[in-house]
Amino acid sequence: MTQLSDINQQSITIIVIDDDKDVRENMVDLLSTQYQHIQEFDSPKPVLARLNAQSPVVIITDLRMPGGDGLEFSKKVNALDANIPVILMTGYGDITIAVEAMKYGVYDFIEKPVDTDRLLKSIQRAVDKRFLSLSLLHARQKLEEHQSIDQRIIGHCSMVKQLKQNLLKFAPMDIPVLISGETGTGKELVARCLHDYSDRSQGPFVTLNCAAIPDHLAEAELFGYIKGAFTDASSSRVGKLEFATGGSLFLDEIESLPPSIQAKLLRVFQDGVITPLGSNKEIHTNFRIISASKDDLRNHVSFRQDLYFRLQVGECNIPPLRQRKEDILILFEYFVHKNCDSFTITYSPLSHATEQALLNYDWPGNIRELINVATRFVINGCKDIDHALVAGNDLIEDAEMSLKQQVDAYEENLIRSKLSQHKGKVSAVLEDLKLERRTFNQKTTRFQIITTDYKK
């Protein structure tokens, strides 16, 4: 499938439709001197089955054919995508038909016998038009993706910005992607985004937590089995690898796969075929593999390195929450607002004490834990967070840090968080923190904070 980012004038295909074989052959000979991609058909029906709203094509079709009417075909193409240029040819010079054709989005109308010079000029204008429409569509899609990704992955720290950039870069590439991150950082969300922003988005998104299946069931779960393959196999079952065909397969906690299954999975990636349990028949697959691990798989003692190198063509690293403290308040307020809407509870702004409690905590459970705390906060009426509400016990603090170090760490995290919240607008941060600009400048210099990094 041609991606919009790969489109140029040379990649656009000229489609010729005419029931007369001689006319088609002459047309192809004429066009082949100027265009690389030409296809010919004797009726419109098979062409319609191949078209979609992003097809990089220009169509030249006869008006009257035994296998279909050119004008009706043009109407259907226009309904699919009004920007696909259709040039109608006819031996019946009728101004009424020409007017009717233009009304239904036909790009041009040429009489037979064809003036080759006029036809070539018309085709070139049509190619330019199609290239422009696809370029605009690509630009609009990229803008929508960037806006959408900011709504799905919340946070503005430099590491999260890099994550979003990598995600949008890898999504349209049909390559394996390995997602790494601690428990609760949002690996499945990133995998879902990779699928949703890819050309496979209309296909299935199949997930499997490798740690949740017993070793003796892993092969059956992945490869499927036929009836009678083992004692309890009363019927055949399609495995996850086959079920994901046409879409994406997300293997979470892939480090938990037994070595024997790792070897079989490697063969699938090499040959593109699977063999269900109990069967001798090979089945061809076509899916994108997205995997995730909380461990570092490079030189991992129980993970095959040849499989690792197959999986990590693209890598997305998700930082733990303790390394992106400037995003904590933004994330917390986002989930608080969400829960207030769900429980119809009136939102109350966070107090200074609550902000301090949130920023001082290390969040070992990461975003998953933060969501739970935000939910409990709303259920308790949006009252100040106490120690028990955050972690179920006292807040974790570094006993080796002096009071001054703890105060500095809190001030730095709070300033970074407010800069993220206000998208780098210093005047808004000063007003929020009731801080003088001179004091603010002194603190940003001491903490090596670059305010422009937070501007979107």
CATH of the domain at 299: 3.40.50.300
pLDDT tens digits, residue range 175-206?
999 999 999 999 999 999 999 999 898 899 99
Q: What is residue 431's predicted lDDT score, i.e. its pLDDT?
A: 85
Q: What is residue 398's predicted lDDT score, i.e. its pLDDT?
A: 44
Look at residues 184, 323, 166, 163 and name the one whose alpha carbon lies nearest to residue 252. Answer: 184
Q: Are the C-beta atoms of residues 167 and 193 closer than 8 Å to each other?
A: yes
Could you tell me which residues are beta bridge partners of residue 292? 179
Q: What is residue 1's predicted lDDT score, i.e. its pLDDT?
A: 43
Could you tell me which residues are beta bridge partners of residue 65? 68
Helices (H), 110-258: 116-152, 158-170, 187-196, 215-223, 240-243
147-174 as b/e: b if 16+ CB within 10 A: eebeeebbbbbeebbebbebbbebbbbe
The answer on pLDDT for 104 being more than 80 is no
Domain of 25: which CATH number? 3.40.50.2300
Q: Which of 84, 114, 138 is the last residue of a domain?
A: 138
> Does one domain contain both 349 and 311?
no
Strands 68-69 and 64-65: antiparallel
Query: Is residue 144 in some structural domain?
Result: no
Could you tell me which residues are beta bridge partners of residue 178? 291, 315
The answer on pLDDT for 213 being more than 60 is yes
> Does one domain contain both 168 and 297?
yes
Look at residues 49, 62, 54 and name the one whose alpha carbon lies nearest to residue 23. Answer: 62
Confidence tier at 229 by pLDDT (50, 70, 90)? confident
> Does one domain contain both 236 and 291?
yes
Confidence tier at 346 by pLDDT (50, 70, 90)? confident
How large is the average pLDDT for residues 381-394?
A: 58
> Does one domain contain both 329 and 445?
yes
Query: Is residue 126 in some structural domain?
Result: yes
The answer on pLDDT for 52 being more than 80 is yes
pLDDT tens digits, residue range 249-286?
999 999 999 999 999 999 898 888 998 888 888 899 89
What percentage of the chain has pLDDT greater than the value 70? 90
> Does one domain contain both 224 and 104?
no
* Domains: count for the chain: 3
Q: What is residue 397's predicted lDDT score, i.e. its pLDDT?
A: 44
Confidence tier at 50 by pLDDT (50, 70, 90)? confident
> Does one domain contain both 413 and 343?
yes
Q: What is residue 146's predicted lDDT score, i.e. its pLDDT?
A: 63
Report which listed range, 9-18, 109-118, 309-318, is most confident.
Answer: 309-318
Q: Which of 319, 346, 375 is the last residue of a domain?
A: 319
pLDDT tens digits, residue range 66-85?
767 888 888 888 888 888 99
Neighbours of 123 (CB within 10 A): 23
Query: Is residue 143 in some structural domain?
Result: no
- Site of tokens 């829960």: 339
The answer on pLDDT for 429 being more than 50 is yes
Q: What is residue 456's predicted lDDT score, i.e. its pLDDT?
A: 61
Tokens of 21: 């074989």
Query: Is residue 118 in some structural domain?
Result: yes
Please tell me the pTM assigned to this model. Answer: 0.62
> Does one domain contain both 194 and 87?
no
Q: What is residue 6's predicted lDDT score, i.e. its pLDDT?
A: 53
| Range with the poorest average pLDDT among 9-18, 138-147, 445-454 | 138-147
> Does one domain contain both 361 and 312?
no
> Does one domain contain both 311 and 337?
no
Residue partners of 432: CB distance under 8 A and separation at least 6: 418, 421, 422
How large is the average pLDDT for residues 404-425?
A: 77
Q: Which of 303, 319, 335 is the last residue of a domain?
A: 319
Query: Is residue 299 in some structural domain?
Result: yes
Query: Is residue 54 in some structural domain?
Result: yes
What percentage of the chain has pLDDT greater than the value 90? 34
> Does one domain contain both 329 and 429?
yes
> Does one domain contain both 184 and 122?
no
Owning domain of residue 397:
323-454
Query: Is residue 146 in some structural domain?
Result: no
Q: What is the largest CA-CA distance in the chain?
A: 92
> Does one domain contain both 381 and 242?
no
Say which residue, 402 or 279, is predicted with more confidence. 279
Confidence tier at 320 by pLDDT (50, 70, 90)? very high
Q: What is residue 242's predicted lDDT score, i.e. its pLDDT?
A: 92
| Range with the poorest average pLDDT among 172-176, 406-410, 446-450 | 406-410
Query: Is residue 145 in some structural domain?
Result: no
